[in-house]
């Protein structure tokens, strides 16, 4: 595994060496079964000598599990507790890190639209997987998913008929163009890339559970650096600000929903 991940890094620049090894190993096993390989050494050989094979492996390593208004209680808490702070800002910059196919960024756009704030917001949605970003930018969602997304939306405090935000054909839902205008999809690798801006809100949910402790600490430091004073960080319900002295850097703004507020300099 060490040799494989080193090979992937040397050939592609994508660094999975500090991902949770158990998670990566499951994906390696899947690829070996798919291609009838009996050892990781054979997999390494294909990575080096079979054109395009590393792209297949990178697609296996990329985790694209998301949904609109995922964990509705998080979005409900954000609406009730964070939105009042954002109202006071002349502009709002939000970073959805590890956005996958964009559903959480779309959810934030809808929430801000309902609160009358979307016109002054800029949502930066990033992921390491360039292919999923290209699809996300089109705002096309499998119609079969919209029933569960509607349920999430209502539980998150949605104020309208969810169907007002998209049109459909027999296969897909197409988000309204006005919801996409302030979302900027771009490639960014949390493992190797630095800060891209200063943000009022950073959302990174259910991404760092795949990182080991050292990498989690590195990414947490990146988020802290990228947040303005008084800005908000939202994590997944199984994630923590590991290896950081939380009481010195953040207020536990909403303990249950893992929302933290960066302390201003000199604040207790």
pLDDT tens per residue, range 7-38: 999 998 889 998 889 989 999 999 999 999 99
Q: CA 219, CA 40: separation in Å to the nearest integer?
A: 29
What pLDDT, on a 0 to 100 scale, did the predictor assign at position 120?
98
pLDDT tens per residue, range 32-84: 999 999 999 999 999 999 999 999 998 888 777 789 999 999 999 999 999 99
Q: CA 128, CA 185: separation in Å to the nearest integer?
A: 11
Per-residue pLDDT of the chain (268 residues; tens, 9 = 90+): 999 999 999 998 889 998 889 989 999 999 999 999 999 999 999 999 999 999 999 888 877 778 999 999 999 999 999 999 999 999 999 999 999 999 999 999 999 999 999 999 999 999 998 888 988 999 999 999 999 999 999 999 998 999 999 999 989 999 999 999 999 999 999 989 999 999 999 999 989 888 988 898 899 999 999 999 999 999 998 887 765 567 788 999 999 999 999 998 766 6
DSSP state of 123: E
pTM of the model: 0.88
Q: CA 55, CA 90: separation in Å to the nearest integer?
A: 42
Q: CA 158, CA 79: separation in Å to the nearest integer?
A: 10
Backbone angles phi, psi at 163, to 5 degrees: -65, -15
Closest-CA residue to 14 (of 65, 66, 54, 64) = 54
Q: Are 202 and 104 in contact (CB under 8 A)?
A: no
What pLDDT, on a 0 to 100 scale, did the predictor assign at position 239?
84
Q: Considering Cα of 136, then 141, then 146, then 150, what sign does the dihedral take?
A: positive
Contact partners, residue 147, CB within 8 Å, separation at least 6: none
What's the token pair of residue 80?
């009730």
Q: Which helix (H) or strand (E) holds 225?
A: helix 213-226
Buried b (16+ CB within 10 A) or exposed e, 170-191: eebbebeeebbebbebeebebb
């Amino acid at each position: 595994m060490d040799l494989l991940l080193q090979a992937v890094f040397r050939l592609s620049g994508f660094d999975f060496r500090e991902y949770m090894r158990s998670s990566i190993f499951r994906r390696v096993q899947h690829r070996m079964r798919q291609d009838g390989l009996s050892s990781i050494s054979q997999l390494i050989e294909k990575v080096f000598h079979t054109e395009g094979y590393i792209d297949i492996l990178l697609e296996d390593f990329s985790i694209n599990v998301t949904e609109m208004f995922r964990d509705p209680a998080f979005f409900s808490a954000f609406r009730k507790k964070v939105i009042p702070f954002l109202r006071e800002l002349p502009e709002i910059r939000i970073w959805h890190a590890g956005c996958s196919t964009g559903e959480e960024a779309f959810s934030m756009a809808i929430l801000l639209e309902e609160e009358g704030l979307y016109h002054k917001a800029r949502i930066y949605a990033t992921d390491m997987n360039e292919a999923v970003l290209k699809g996300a930018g089109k705002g096309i969602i499998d119609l079969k998913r919209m029933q569960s997304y509607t349920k999430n939306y209502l539980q998150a405090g949605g104020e309208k008929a969810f169907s007002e935000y998209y049109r459909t054909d027999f296969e897909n839902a197409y988000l309204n163009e006005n919801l996409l205008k302030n979302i900027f999809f771009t490639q960014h690798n949390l493992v190797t890339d630095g800060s891209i801006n200063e943000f009022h809100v950073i959302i990174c949910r259910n991404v760092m559970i795949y990182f080991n402790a050292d990498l989690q600490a590195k990414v947490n430091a990146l988020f802290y650096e990228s947040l303005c004073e008084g800005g908000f960080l939202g994590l997944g319900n199984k994630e923590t600000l590991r290896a950081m002295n939380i009481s010195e850097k953040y207020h536990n703004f909403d303990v249950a929903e893992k929302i933290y507020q960066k302390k201003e300099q000199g604040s207790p």
